[in-house]
């Protein structure tokens, strides 16, 4: 089993606030890792630090065996890391196709339209948006915008995709379709970390899960293990005193 991503003792402070505290895990190639935790737990921050948006306060990120701690976002893209954003921000004035072409070119020097266009078309087919290629991105509904965000990430032909709440705001049938797309991406050999609040969906699709609370890793394991973990249940029930205790315990 090849380890694609190693996160070691990763800590991120914003002034006095510890958004990530000593987070450590190995992500095997080809797996879907579910990343859950209450609002403000540090999930998006973990993506931002792994992806080079924010420098780490402490700790290491190792991707494909190479220390990439604090490497810039576009260099991470070159190395094969892509992400989708919790708040989708397509280039509204561009067509759907052009948005994906931009995604294909990100982080790749000398990658012209000739190479980018067929990749973008193929990816739009893959996420079921091909029939909307010529529309302005601004005209898409939320589910379509989430698919576009996915297409932009896929167009960079990554080995690892960080997905931030791709199911948020979708209705039940859109969630089912998107989960199917996530599986299809994994079946192509792309490794995935998926931040998700839709518990049923993330439990169904994840090979392995990590739970964050107040920046600390309070649980890790298969969905079955996570589901019955009292620390996780308490974190979601929102008892701050107990959560505090668990956080301290997790950090011992």
Residues that bind ligand ADP (CB under 6 A): 14, 17, 19, 37, 39-45
- Residue 23 or 182: the one with the smaller Cβ distance to ligand ADP is 23
Q: Helix (H, G, I), strand (E, B), or coil: what is residue 40?
A: coil
Q: What is the CA radius of gyration of the chain?
A: 18
* 206 sits near Mg ion (criterion: CB under 5 A): no
* 44 sits near Mg ion (criterion: CB under 5 A): yes
Give the HSE-up count for residue 141: Cα atoms under 13 Å, Cβ half-sphere.
Answer: 5
Which sign, positive or negative, has the C-alpha torsion 122, 71, 51, 4? positive
Site map (CB under 5 A) of Mg ion, residues 86-105, x = contact: x-------------------
- Residue 13 or 183: the one with the smaller Cβ distance to ligand ADP is 13
- Select from ligand ADP, Mg ion, none the partner in contact with residue 107, using the beta carbon and a kind-dependent cut-off of 5 to 8 Å: none
Site size with Mg ion, rule: CB under 5 A: 3
- Residue 44 or 84: the one with the smaller Cβ distance to Mg ion is 44
Which phi and psi angles does 42 have, rounded to 5°? 110, 10
- Select from Mg ion, ligand ADP, none the partner in contact with residue 59, using the beta carbon and a kind-dependent cut-off of 5 to 8 Å: none
Task: Please check whether residue 59 is in contact with residue 22, taking contact to mean a CB–CB distance below 8 angstroms.
Answer: yes
Measured from the CB of residue 46, what is the shortest distance to ligand ADP in angstroms? 7
Measured from the CB of residue 14, what is the shortest distance to ligand ADP in angstroms? 3
Measured from the CB of residue 15, what is the shortest distance to ligand ADP in angstroms? 7
- Residue 43 or 83: the one with the smaller Cβ distance to Mg ion is 43
Question: How many angstroms separate the Cα of 204 from the Cα of each of 27, 177, 200, 208, 248?
Answer: 18, 13, 6, 10, 30
Task: Please check whether residue 42 is in contact with residue 19, taking contact to mean a CB–CB distance below 8 angstroms.
Answer: yes
- Residue 80 or 215: the one with the smaller Cβ distance to ligand ADP is 215
From the number of C-beta atoms within 10 Å of its C-beta (0-12, 13-18, 19+), residue 224 rates as exposed
Kindly list the residues in this chain that would bind Mg ion in the complex (CB under 5 A).
43-44, 86
């Amino acid at each position: 089993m090849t380890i694609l991503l190693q996160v070691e003792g990763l800590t991120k402070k914003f002034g006095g606030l510890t958004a990530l505290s000593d987070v450590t895990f190995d992500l095997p190639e080809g797996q879907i890792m579910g990343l859950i935790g209450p609002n403000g737990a540090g999930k998006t921050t973990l993506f931002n630090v792994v992806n080079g948006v924010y420098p780490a306060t402490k700790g290491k990120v190792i991707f494909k065996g190479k220390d990439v701690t604090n490497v810039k976002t576009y260099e991470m893209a070159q190395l094969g890391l892509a992400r989708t954003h919790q708040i989708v921000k397509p280039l509204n004035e561009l067509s759907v196709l052009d948005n994906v072409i931009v995604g294909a070119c990100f982080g790749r020097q000398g990658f012209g339209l000739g190479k980018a266009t067929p990749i973008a078309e193929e990816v739009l087919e893959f996420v079921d948006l091909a029939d909307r290629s010529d529309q302005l991105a601004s005209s898409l509904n939320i589910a379509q915008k989430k698919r576009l965000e996915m297409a932009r990430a896929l167009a960079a032909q990554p080995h690892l995709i960080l997905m931030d709440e791709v199911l948020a705001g979708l209705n039940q049938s859109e969630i089912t379709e998107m989960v199917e797309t996530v599986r299809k991406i994994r079946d192509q050999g792309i490794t995935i970390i998926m931040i998700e609040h839709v518990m049923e969906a993330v439990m169904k699709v994840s090979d392995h899960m990590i739970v964050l609370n107040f920046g600390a890793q309070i649980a890790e394991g298969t969905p079955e293990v996570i589901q019955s973990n009292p620390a996780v249940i308490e974190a979601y029930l929102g008892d701050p005193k107990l959560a505090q205790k668990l956080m301290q315990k997790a950090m011992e």
